[in-house]
Amino acid sequence: MEPITWNDFEKVALHAGTILEAVDYPEARKPAYKVRVDFGEHGIKWSSAQITKHYTKEELVGRQILGVINFPKKQIGKFMSEFLVTGLADENGDIVLTAIERPVPNGSKLI
């Protein structure tokens, strides 16, 4: 693994946001939801996330997540993703969301 500098890390905009809506994304190659997330002063953004194995759409609404919000938008099929949802793969390769232990203001930056 190549080391990075603190300045490199500071360029990554990892911010907390609250999921407002989760909808099916049947056109995705792998099972996924489209999620709409409130990042406070950074706005409301959409992304697609392959998190269908561990989460229902209903339990996602109101949950805080950590997202990278300064990547360029990415076309995923017919959908334009505006940020990256962060998570870790479990032993089966299914994604578990990065957890925020306690509520923080939407838009809070990981420091």
Q: Kindly indicate the confidence band of residue 78, based on its pLDDT and cuts at 50, 70 and 90.
A: confident
CA 12/CA 71 separation, integer angstroms: 8
* β-strand partners of 88: 96
For residue 17, the model assigns a pLDDT of 98
Do the domain assignments include residue 79? yes
Q: Is the pLDDT of residue 90 over 90?
A: yes
Do the domain assignments include residue 29? yes
- What whole-number percentage of the chain has pLDDT above 90? 93
pLDDT tens by residue, 6-48: 999 999 999 999 999 999 999 988 999 999 999 999 999 999 9
Do the domain assignments include residue 8? no
Whether the Cβ atoms of residue 80 and residue 46 lie closer than 8 Å to each other: yes
For residue 43, the model assigns a pLDDT of 98
pLDDT, averaged across the chain = 96
Do the domain assignments include residue 28? yes
Do the domain assignments include residue 6? no
Do the domain assignments include residue 46? yes
Range of the domain at 51: 14-97
Domain containing residue 64: CATH number: 2.40.50.140
Give 99: exposed, middle or buried? Use CB within 10 Å, 0-12, 13-18, 19+.
Answer: exposed
For residue 77, the model assigns a pLDDT of 83
Residue in the structure block whose two tokens are 């946001």: 17
96 backbone dihedrals φ, ψ, rounded to 5°: -110, 125
Do the domain assignments include residue 108? no
Domain count, the chain: 1
CA 74/CA 3 separation, integer angstroms: 26
Do the domain assignments include residue 52? yes
